[in-house]
Structure 1
């Protein structure tokens, strides 16, 4: 399809895209609610079938439904990846109804990332031959993809490129790099004693944790973009008892695999400071970084194609949040993220999508998919995590 006719096609399709987005947003799908996610999967499956002409494979793992469309008879070469779960609880539509006004769509989950799903379906539907495309829509990304991780990695391993339909960065930027994530728990074991009568007989877990919080925080490296953040901390049982046990969680974000390995080694070599105290460290790397090297080739194609199509030149952005794009890049698949909607307010009351950007973004996605099918990029090397995978509890983005 020629550039002008493709843009005209997507412009004409905009009312249908908005109607499809309304259908998805009106089906609330909080990630922790298995029944809601299952109902959402039904709606996404029907919508995808209507646009693509074939029904998806339904993959249910631990009660969570994921959808996969493998199109045509050719081996999968390009993976379009998204999720249909959201952070919004049932009833959010009552406070934040779906509306389109003044060129903006509002509604829970519209930006993150139901508009991206609509774009994926319409982009693939515009291809004269989608053979070799796989569309994978998961149902647990907002809680760290605990059941879909293996599915994503397996699917990406067989493809030459992954296009992730997460929402754009600020001002519509494509996400060319994402930090890797590691999660740890540090537990201090001391000895209980009466805080008023004989505190000297105790070993204070809270004091030990204070030493460790400072030591862990010092592992950050601002120059390399490494953040090491102690987060939730609990210790002790009653106000008049020397705490016997305490623990805190640690969130680590890194730009490269070497930093992820360095922090992991340091976490597991922490030593107690208080006499008689004992430390236990658990966890480790959860998602490898999506480094610039994983996205560079596809991003360059996106820039070239946008120029040919008369679209605004894409810009790239490195972001601290993680997505399933970290997983596809981690298995060595060239990955470009943030190809979804332009807007803002993800997870917030002002979540929104800019209507005027939908057609052009979908045109770029169509052209990029076509180009990658015709000339797949070489695969990179898989990223070896430094330790055991620890599922994220909560949104990694």
Structure 2
């Protein structure tokens, strides 16, 4: 099936991108997210039917169930993205949207507001979209805590998921590391640091031993990282610390490695007499393994060749996305279909506007293929 003609970026893409970036949407902030959803609804028109605003624990998400129930599940496609960004309120005043030549900058422009704009451009070119659903979540940057169940529900109803997260150097993302997050708490006993420190149990010293042990759980050959990140201990400079904690970030290409690290973390024991350990946390997102992407990658390469687009390449990345969640359900998932650029989560993040036209055609072509 061919892709229909219609308005193509960057003519309409850039002003739309400026509109969306101009709405601040920190994760979970309902006012900004709802303003962004209002804008997305106007772009969608009635192509996907009427969307739902689903609020979970105060966080709104936008869901077009879209797909005609008569369409077989194997042909249904979920377009998946998020409207939230890592940027706090007020960032826009210091770093407003700018477009110069082929580069656009601004908070959230790369991760991943450009991908959302691109999705609606692709929908306008794809022709029949009766097989398409779309979900835009509002807390992906925080680990999809309130949206996970909705992501799973939407993906389970479809035969494929196309994730509009940004490209990596022009390449599609066919593998992502799984992510687990933990918090190790240490309880000791407070005492005066000058008068009788020997009567205390120093939670900070215990934590130091544990942090060194935790860091050794990484496996460089397998690409498994175990990184202590945020820590704290104590109350005053003259008190033996009674409490301490450390946050631990774990990433791995394989489910088995995430399981191994969790087992070893939970098997840790306190070294100091009187100290106690407590663990919180779990796997947040399983890995997006390449086997869940290869068929869609093959389709993308065929579409690109047929339409005379830039040849499609692939890459593996350490960061997680909602594509990890959908792939873990066993639903074929292709990630990184947004525009090229760089600087995710950095003040200099940017989008390559020259990459947009090919990527819109690619996504539209994939949608058209699934309709056939």
TM-score range, shorter chain: over 0.9
Contact 1:203–1:243 (8 Å) recurs in 2: yes
1:304 aligned onto 2:336:
no
CA RMSD across the alignment: 1.8
Structure 1 residue matching 2:12: 3-state secondary structure = helix
Residue 386 of structure 1 is matched in structure 2 by none
Residue 25 of structure 2 is matched in structure 1 by 29
Q: CA–CA distance in 2 between the matches of 1:108 and 1:234?
A: 30
Deviation at 1:277, TM superposition (A): 1.6
Residue 246 of structure 2 is matched in structure 1 by 248
Contact 1:10–1:360 (8 Å) recurs in 2: no
- Seen in structure 2, the aligned counterparts of structure 1 residues 72 and 53 have a Cα distance that, compared at 3 Å, is closer
Mark the runs of 5 or more structure 2 residues left unpaired by the alignment. none
Q: CA–CA distance in 1 between the matches of 2:171 and 2:367?
A: 18
Mark the runs of 5 or more structure 1 residues left unpaired by the alignment. 375-397
Residue 158 of structure 1 is matched in structure 2 by 157
Structure 1 residue matching 2:315: 3-state secondary structure = strand
Structure 2 residue matching 1:19: 3-state secondary structure = helix
Deviation at 1:93, TM superposition (A): 2.9
Deviation at 1:298, TM superposition (A): 1.0
- Seen in structure 2, the aligned counterparts of structure 1 residues 236 and 82 have a Cα distance that, compared at 3 Å, is same
Query: Superposition pairs for residues 329-368 of structure 1, below 5 Å?
Result: 329-368=327-366
Structure 2 residue matching 1:188: 3-state secondary structure = strand
Q: CA–CA distance in 2 between the matches of 1:224 and 1:53?
A: 42
1:70 aligned onto 2:62:
no
Deviation at 1:32, TM superposition (A): 4.3
Contact 2:224–2:251 (8 Å) recurs in 1: yes
Residue 53 of structure 2 is matched in structure 1 by 58
Query: Superposition pairs for residues 206-221 of structure 1, below 5 Å?
Result: 206-221=204-219
Residue 199 of structure 1 is matched in structure 2 by 197
For these two proteins, the number of residue pairs brought into alignment is: 368
Which of 222, 225, 228 matches 1:224?
A: 222
Q: CA–CA distance in 1 between the matches of 2:67 and 2:194?
A: 75
Q: CA–CA distance in 2 between the matches of 1:66 and 1:180?
A: 23
Q: Which moved more, 1:256-265 or 1:25-34?
A: 25-34
Query: Superposition pairs for residues 135-154 of structure 1, below 5 Å?
Result: 135-154=134-153
Q: CA–CA distance in 1 between the matches of 2:103 and 2:59?
A: 32
Per-residue CA deviations over 1:187-246 (Å, capped at 9, x if unaligned) read: 112222222222222221111111110111110000000000111111122222222221
Structure 2 residue matching 1:284: 3-state secondary structure = strand
TM-score by length of 1: 0.88
Structure 2 residue matching 1:290: 3-state secondary structure = coil
Query: Superposition pairs for residues 1-397 of structure 1, below 5 Å?
Result: 2=2, 9=6, 11=8, 13-49=9-45, 52=47, 54-73=49-68, 74-75=70-71, 77-169=76-168, 171-374=169-372
Q: CA–CA distance in 1 between the matches of 2:349 and 2:39?
A: 21
Q: CA–CA distance in 2 between the matches of 1:53 and 1:238?
A: 58
TM-score by length of 2: 0.93
